[in-house]
Each structure stands twice: as structure tokens, then as C-alpha cells.
Amino acid sequence: MSDPNLLRRREFVKTAGTAAVAAAVLPSALRADVRRRRYAIVGTGHRGTGMWGADLAKRYSDVLEFVGLCDANPKRLAAGRDLIGAECPTYTGFDEMLEKARPELLMVTTVDSTHVEQITRALDRGVDVITEKPMVTDERQVKAVLDAERRNNRKIVVTFNYRYAPKHQKIKELLMSGEIGRVTSVDFSWYLDVQHGADYFRRWHRLKSRGGSLWVHKATHHFDLVNWWLGADPVEVAAYGELNVYGKAGPFRHTHCRPCPHKAKCPFYFDLTKNERLMKLYARAEDVDGYHRDGCVFREDVDIYDTMSAVVKYSDGAQMTYSLNAAMPFEGYRLAFNGTKGRLEVRDYERQPWPETEDSEAYLTKSFGKREKIEMPHGEGGHGGGDNRLRDLLFRNASVPDYMRLPDARAGAMSVLTGVAARTSIEKRRPVKISELVTL
Ligand SMILES: NC(=O)c1ccc[n+]([C@@H]2O[C@H](COP(=O)([O-])OP(=O)(O)OC[C@H]3O[C@@H](n4cnc5c(N)ncnc54)[C@H](O)[C@@H]3O)[C@@H](O)[C@H]2O)c1
């Protein structure tokens, strides 16, 4: 058990803290023998400095060597390096970093619409890529990434951390067990509350040109989960979307919260000054690129939707009715799989203004049979425990069953394309086939 690669599936499944276990069981004398992979990050914002920065520097330095950090904003780059605590060189030029730092592994944590540039350029230099979701934001970018992957024969992993939440693995295993028969339809409603949901409208995510809309930026997680749970591909999407609360729908507006004359009466007022990390990363770097982390949620330029619904048809004949609402009084989801032999339903509670004893409640009901309550496992840490388990799998090669293998570029493409088809369906006012968008 001294080799982290020998961590067994049982341990991976059981605990969200496998890395801590591996680090603890690896004697320090042996650690020097483990060859560390040369690791670089492009995009030293929230995600690059946290989940893929400081947390890795703290817990994975026996297997990773930070060799370069890159960001287009030099002030955020300096703040990011400080927050990560890495001693490596920094670069504002991406190609310069690839050339001088010579990473073997690149983490892409930039604004969604720029992932394509960094992924393809890294692959073309023979560097393996881990990219944050969404892999890209439109169908042309999907094609560019898949082409680059093919011509270089390098690996891409898309960080679909929700797959690794123990409760989501449990759902996968229940569906694979055949208890409810063949899945004929899925009911899936995701609720973003007035804190988390509103935050998308404060930031670059409010523009389709940056995040591809919440159909891509956020729903990519949900579409990936469904593709994986069903083991099927999306075929056709019909969708609707409206902006009901944020953007032009708001009663008043300003540029951002700090100087806002309406702050006393605005329920969405966000006091950035109370968060030193955000001040350091964003407020003190905003003179460089004009980016306000506390942007007004009611700005006129918001061009995404806060109210979305879609019907998706899948390659195995299943259908899904899906909705995403971004101004709800609580956060979580309702999910049900209707099968030829029964139904599996899940209510997930992330945050609500009432006490809840469980984070996730599930029932399996057999047709002509009984209802059974399913015990849902709890995971520690971000994204239902998915963040920790994903990192262990990425950097410690924890052994997992086939269905828990790392999501690849094809998975990244299929989930993005579902969202792009939904967006296109709204624009064209008709159902859109995935095959119209790109040939895979
Ligand atoms: N998996 C998850 O659960 C999860 C959660 C949050 C964010 N994300 C993803 O992580 C990524 C980063 O999100 P974030 O919240 O950290 O955003 P952020 O705005 O905090 O950071 C993005 C950084 O990228 C930099 N940047 C933008 N374009 C660049 C370019 N062309 N070259 C170099 N740097 C560039 C910006 O200056 C900024 O520092 C996004 O793709 C987002 O979708 C994933």
C-alpha cells in the first residue's frame, strides 16, 4: 500500500479523502522517488488559484511540480501566485509559458470562450490538458478541439466533478442494476438560488460570447451527468429561454456594487470589500482590464437567460424534460428516472431557508411493487464531494471501475453540444439536431 497507484476501488468509493490517505501512507523517503509531473496553470482566477492551485500545492506536491502560471491580467497573476504559494515563474503570454516552462500537464481555468485557444495550442506542443468545464462554448470550437486531439494523440480530461459526488455514483449504480428497467424518460429540474444564481449575472458569465450562456456554462454539468447516467448521446433538443429577473428586467442599475447609488435598496447588493481574497484577486486588478467582480446584475448588456427549459431526445430512445432557473429562493435539484419497471426519484438539498436533515433524499418505486427509501452517501468538500475524488483520480491514479473513468474530450463535446443545441433552438425557434451542429 505504499504506492498511491495501488489504492483500491473500495477506498476510492468509501472516502473523499483518498489523497490524504495516500500522502499519509507514502513514506517521505519514497516520495522523492515518485517523479513529479511538470504542471502549469493558465487562468489564475478563482478556480485556478483554489481547486487547481493552492489546494494542489498543499496536498499533491509529492506528485506535481508547479512550473508556470499564466494569466492575461498581470496583477491577478501576481495575486494568484501569492495565493497559490508556488515559487514558479509567471507569464502573461501563453505561448511563452509553454515554451519556457515546458509543462507536461496544463490546467485550463480561463474564461470559457478562450479554452479552445489554450487547449489546441497545448495539444499542438505535445502537452496533455486538463480543462475546466465547459470544454468550449460553441460547435466550431468543439470541432477544433477534437481535431487537435486526433492530430496530436494527446490526452484531454474535462473536469466533470459532479460525476464523482458519491451520491451521483450511487445513482449510476442503481440505474446499471436494472432495478427500474430501461429508462424511458428523465425529469430534471435544477434550481440556482438568488445568491449563487445571481453571481453568474455579476460576472463575465452574463455574456453569451464569454460563457456560451448558462445552457453551456452551467448546464454542461447536468447534461454530462445525464449522458453518463444513461450511457447515451443526445440526438435532438427543443428549448425555450427568457430573462425574467436580471439584466434589463431589473428596476434600476449601475456599473457595479461598490459605487452604486441604489445599494441600500438593492436585494442583490454584494459587498466585495468584506472578502479579502476577492479584493486581492479582482478589485486590485480591475484597473488593468476593467473587470468588476461585483458587476451589477441588472446591467443592460446581460444577454443570457435566467429561466430555461428543454426537451432532449437521446440515442437510446429516452427523453428528458429539463429546466434551469437562476433566481430561486433555494438551491438544489429534483431528478427522476422513469423506467419500464419503476421509478427512481431524488431530491437534492444544497441550500434552503428551512432546516433539512438530509442533503439528498431518494426513493425507488417498483411498478406493481413497493417504494423503498435509498440511503444516499454523503461526500465532503465541494460539488457534493466530487472535487476531492476527482483530484485523487487525476493525480494519484486511484483505481476505479470502468464507469468512473475520467471524462474525455468526447464527453466534453456531447454535453456542450446539448447546450449549444438548446441555445440554437431558442434562436431558430425550432428543434435542433446535434448532427446539424457538428459531425463527430
Ligand atoms: N467545475 C466547476 O465546478 C467550476 C466551478 C467554477 C468555475 N469553473 C470553470 O473554471 C474556469 C475559470 O472560472 P473562474 O471562476 O476561476 O473565473 P475567473 O474569472 O475567476 O478566472 C478566469 C481567469 O482567466 C483569465 N483569462 C481570461 N482570458 C484569458 C486568456 N486568454 N489568457 C490567459 N488568461 C485569461 C482572467 O484574467 C481570469 O484571471 C471557467 O471555465 C469556469 O467555467 C468550474
| pLDDT tens track for 61-117 | 999 999 999 999 999 999 999 999 999 999 999 999 999 999 999 999 999 999 999
The residue-averaged pLDDT of 163-182 equals 97
What is the dihedral angle through the alpha carbons of 411, 412, 413, 419, rounded to the nearest 10 degrees? 110
- State the distance from the centre of ligand 1 to the C-alpha of 314, rounded, in angstroms: 31
Which of 41, 84, 97, 109 is the pocket-test mutation for ligand 1 (most atoms within 8 Å of CB)?
109
pLDDT > 50? residue 214: yes
CA distance 219 to 192: 11
For ligand 1, the distance from its centroid to the CA atom of residue 281, given in whole angstroms, is 12
Q: Which amino acid residue places its CA nearest to atom 41 of ligand 1?
A: 112
Using the structure block, give the residue that is written with the C-alpha cell 478562450: 114
Measured by CA distance, the residue closest to atom 19 of ligand 1 is 45
SS3 335: strand
What the block records as the C-alpha cell of 255 is 456599473
Instruction: Give the three cell numbers for residue 144.
Output: 477544433
* Residue 319 CA, ligand 1 centroid: distance in Å: 33
**Cα-to-centroid distance, 133 and ligand 1 (Å):** 10
**Closest atom of ligand 1 relative to the 110 alpha carbon:** 24
| Residue 25 pLDDT greater than 50, yes or no | no
Taking residues 138-154, what's their average pLDDT? Answer: 96
Choose which residue among 132, 136, 275, 287 to substitute to test ligand 1 binding: the one with the highest number of ligand atoms within 8 A of its C-beta.
132
Average pLDDT, the chain: 92
Q: Is the pLDDT of residue 37 over 80?
A: yes
What burial letters (b/e) apply to 161-171, b meaning 16+ CB within 10 Å?
bbbbbbbbbbb
> How many angstroms is it from 182 CA to the middle of ligand 1?
39
Q: What is the pTM of this model?
A: 0.93
Task: Specify the pairing of strand 432-433 against strand 183-193.
Answer: unpaired
What are the phi and psi torsion angles at 319 (to 5°)?
Answer: -125, 155
